[in-house]
Every structure is written in C-alpha cells, then in structure tokens.
Copies of this chain bind each other. A is one copy, B any other.
Amino acid sequence: MKEIHTIAEMSLLRQQPSGSLGFVPTMGYLHEGHLSLVRKAKAENQAVAVSIFVNPTQFGRFLPAAEEIYPQGFNSWVKVEGVTERLEGASRPGHFQGVTTVVAKLFNIVRPDRAYFGQKDAQQAIVIKKMAADLNMSVEITVLPTVREPDGLAMSSRNSYLNAEERRSATVLFKALTVVRERYERGERNADLLRQEMISLIQGNPLARIDYVSIADRQTLEELSNIDRPALVSLAVRIGKTRLIDNILLG
C-alpha cells in the first residue's frame, strides 16, 4: 500500500500503466461501510485508490489543510441542478455543489475506471451518477448497500457523537423504514399514509426531531402520492444534536 500526499505524486503515479483502477472517496472516519466499498473495488479492479479528504466546501468553511485542493483564488464549480434542490439539498444549501466539485476534482486527479459510493448517502449517489452522465465523465459509478449495526442503525461516523441513551433512540430511523417496507410488501401503496406512519413512530421517541421524511421517485426525487414506480424512502432525524440520515429502496 502506498500513501500519497500530493496531487503531483498522484499524477505521476497515474502516468505509469497500472491496469484498471477502482476509487473509493472518503472523508476519513473509516468504518465497515467504507470497507465494503474497498473490498468490492478490489474485487473488480487491478488496483484501488482510497482518498481521505474532509471537504471544507461541503461544510461551509475552509481548513488550512485544504490548500492544495482549494488554492487561493479557487473559483470554479461543478453543480447539478434539479435533483439537488430536494431532501439533503433543501436542508443543507450549497452542500451538493461542494460534493460534486470535490468529486469531479478527485476524479480528474485519480482518473479511476470505477468509483464506489454507499447507498446510505442515497441522494449523493444519485447526484454523482447524474454529474458523471451529464458531463461525460469516463468513470463507472457503483452504489453498494448500506452496512448496518446488528440493531439496524446505518454505519456512520456521526454515530460516535451519540451518548448511550441517544444511541438506543437512533434505531428509530431504521424501525420507521422497516415499517414502511413491511407495509409496502403487504400491498400498501399510499405514500401519504406511509409517510404519516413514519412521522408518528418517530414522534413517539422523545429524543428524536424530524428534519424530513420522504417517499420519492428514485430518479427525480419528486415526492409521490402513490408508490407506482421505483421509490426512495428516506429520512433525516436529529437525535439530540446529531443529525442522522437513512433510506431504503422500494420497487
């Protein structure tokens, strides 16, 4: 394993022929979810690159360590419109422009054949696929299932912020999604009713505060009244001060 610290080193390395390259972009705090991406990348490619970069433009502030990625005077952006305006994009203005810009930069630096993302960040995966398709990026995007703790909580670096009581409450996200899945499998297609059930279930938990619950078209992320096509069921809930997200696919 090589550790690479500069863009110049990476460019130099990519000038040598190396066969197909899989790429897993991360922001550190590696957990089992990231490792599942690395394993798949390793199985499908002759080499794997993992980046660790805490992207300041996703969080609305700049860190000094980011100077090589965002040198002084940096002023170019990649943005996806439409699908970025809903869900996470509505709650976190500018977030996805930060994501698409840094991912486009990393793709240009690393020049992977395939890149791997987790289903946990469902909207991010949709946005990156759209960016890659619209801008003719020659990289294949693979999205892998969310990895969960034994009680169903989706793996996330943010879980470490939860105290013991909050950690127990945090399972409410997956419980709400599971209720929707079970009701869907028994034939329920009324999205308004299912959203209301999620809301009631989560509101029954005193530590949980809903940011959004959504049952949406899986491509456009437009909210559905009836689940008559492939859907993304997603939610964002604050448990104490920690904002958690999760989702499942239906259909």
Contacts and interface: CB of A to CB of B under 8 A. Distances in A.
A35 interface: no
Chain A binding surface, main DSSP class: mixed
Contact of A81 (B77, B80, B81, B138): B77
Interface string A103-133: 0110011010000000000000000001100
B74 A134 contact: yes
A138 B78 CA distance: 16
Interface string A67-93: 000000111111111110000000000
A1 interface: no
A137 interface: yes
Given A75-B83, A76-B78, A108 B138 contact: yes
B76 A135 contact: yes
Given A105-B135, A108-B138, A130 B76 contact: yes
Contacts of A81: 75-77
A20 B23 CA distance: 25
Given A7-B136, A105-B136, A109-B136, A77 B78 contact: yes
A11 interface: yes
A138 B11 contact: yes
Nearest to A127: B76
A111 B138 contact: yes
A201 B131 CA distance: 48
Nearest to A104: B135
A104 B11 CA distance: 19
A174 B100 CA distance: 42
Interface string A91-105: 000000000110011
Contacts of A11: 138
Nearest to A138: B108
Contacts of A74: 134
17 contacts: A74-B134, A75-B80, A75-B134, A76-B78, A76-B80, A76-B81, A76-B130, A76-B131, A76-B134, A77-B78, A77-B79, A78-B104, A78-B135, A79-B79, A105-B134, A108-B137, A111-B138
Interface of A: 7, 11, 73-83, 100-101, 104-105, 108-109, 111, 130-131, 134-138
